[in-house]
Amino acid sequence: MMGPQAAWLQSGQGRRLHLQHGPIDLVIEAFGTADAEQAAYTNAWARFQTILDELVAELPLLRQPLGDAHPLLRGRVARRMAAACWPHRSMFITPMAAVAGSVAEEIIAVMAAAPGLRKAYVNNGGDIALLLEGNESFTAGVVGNVDQPHIDARAEIRASTPCRGIATSGWRGRSFSRGIADAVTVLARCASEADAAATVIANAVNAEHPAITRRVASDLQPDSDLGDLLVTENVSTLPIALVLEALSSGAAVAHDLKRKGLVQAAYLSLQGETHVVGGEAMLVDRAGGVA
C-alpha cells in the first residue's frame, strides 16, 4: 500500500485538497484569509499522515462490539469513534460504525486552529465534517440512490444551528448494512455522531422478503467487524406496503435519536419512497418543495 498522498483539485470556484491513504479518501476545502487557508491545509496534511497507522494499531479493539465497559483506546480518532457509538451500545455496534465521520471530524478540528478561517469542510466519501463561523452556511445535496444519482433534497446548514456533521449509510454504500435502506442521510452535532446514527437508522429500515438477499458479512469480507452477522447484498423490487413499513421502522428510530439529541434531522430513502425526520429545520427543496 502506498503512503499518504496529497494533490490539489482545481475548479472554477477555487482549489480543494485531496488526501488519500489506503481506504481513507478526503476532499477538503477551506475559506478565509489566504494565510488562514494555507495554515488550515498545512494542518490537515500534517495530521492526515498519521491517522491510518494509528487506527491500524488499535484495529482489533475497534472491531469489537461495544458492551458494558468503555474500551480503553489511545488514539484521538479511535476515542471519537467509540464515544459516538457508545449511546447505541444496547444493540450490536462496533466503533467502526463511526470511522469515516471520526476521521473527517479529526481533520476539521486541526484545521480550526488556523486563525482567520471562516468556513471549511472535510468530505470523507460522503461523510462530512464542517466548520462554520459568523454568517457562513453550507449546502449539501442529498442523494437517495447512489446507483441512480441525482439530488433528491438539499440540506442547508447555517452557523447558527448546532449541526456540524453529515453522514449517509445504506446497503448500496461503501460499508455493509444490516438493513435495506437505499440511503439514510443524517445531520448531527458532529460527523462522528452523524456516522454512528446513520448506521443505526439504516439498519432499522428493514423487512423480510424473498426479494432481499443477505449474506454473512465475513463471507464477503473476512475481516469485517460484523463477523457472522447477515448483511444485505441485494434488494430487488419490493411491495410498496413493505417499503413504507420498513421506512416507518427506520423513522421511529430516527425520531427516538432526535428526541435524545443524537440527530438533528434524517432523510430516509427506499425504492423511490422517502421519509424525513426533523426536516423542518434543515432539509429543504425535497421534490421541488419544502421538507
Question: Over the stretch 120-176, which tens digit does the pLDDT of each residue have?
Answer: 999 999 999 999 999 999 998 888 777 777 788 888 899 999 999 999 999 998 889
CB 104 within 8 A of CB 122: yes
Could you give the C-alpha distances from 215 to 97, 220, 230, 239, in angstroms and in order? 19, 7, 5, 22
Quickly state the pLDDT bin for 288 (edges 50, 70, 90).
Answer: very low
**Stretch 94-117: mean pLDDT:** 97
Please give the share of the chain, as a percent, with pLDDT higher than 90.
86
* Listed residue (282, 291, 29) closest to 161, CA to CA: 282
Buried b (16+ CB within 10 A) or exposed e, 212-240: bebeebeeeeeebbbeeeebbeebeebee
If one compares 82 and 154, the residue with the highest pLDDT of the two is 82
Question: Over the stretch 166-205, which tens digit does the pLDDT of each residue have?
Answer: 999 999 988 899 999 999 999 999 999 999 999 999 999 9
Helices (H) and strands (E) in the chain, counts: 8, 14
DSSP state of 149: -
C-alpha gyration radius of the chain:
19
Q: How far apart are CA 245 and CA 242, in angstroms?
A: 5
Q: How far apart are CA 77 and CA 170, in angstroms?
A: 23
Q: How far apart are CA 64 and CA 42, in angstroms?
A: 34
Question: Over the stretch 22-61, which tens digit does the pLDDT of each residue have?
Answer: 999 999 999 999 999 999 999 999 999 999 999 999 999 9
Q: Which amino acid is at 17?
A: L
Q: Which amino acid is at 121?
A: Y
CB atoms < 10 A from the CB of 98, how many? 33
Quickly state the pLDDT bin for 96 (edges 50, 70, 90).
Answer: very high
> What SS3 class is residue 289?
strand
Considering the segment(s) 5-284 as one domain, its CATH architecture is Roll (3.10)
Q: How far apart are CA 35 and CA 186, in angstroms?
A: 33
Q: Bridge-partner residues for 107, per DSSP?
A: none
Residue ranges covered by each domain of the chain: 5-284
Backbone angles phi, psi at 199, to 5 degrees: -60, -45
Q: How far apart are CA 174 and CA 168, in angstroms?
A: 10
Torsion sign (Cα): 154, 280, 267, 76: positive
CB 192 within 8 A of CB 178: no
**Stretch 3-16: mean pLDDT:** 84
Q: Which amino acid is at 164?
A: R
Whether 282 shows a pLDDT value over 60: the answer reads no
* Listed residue (10, 243, 195, 196) closest to 89, CA to CA: 196
User: pLDDT averaged over the chain?
Assistant: 92
Contacts of 50 (CB under 8 A, 6+ apart): none
This prediction has a pTM of 0.93
* Listed residue (181, 34, 44, 189) closest to 115, CA to CA: 34
Q: How far apart are CA 290 and CA 280, in angstroms?
A: 8
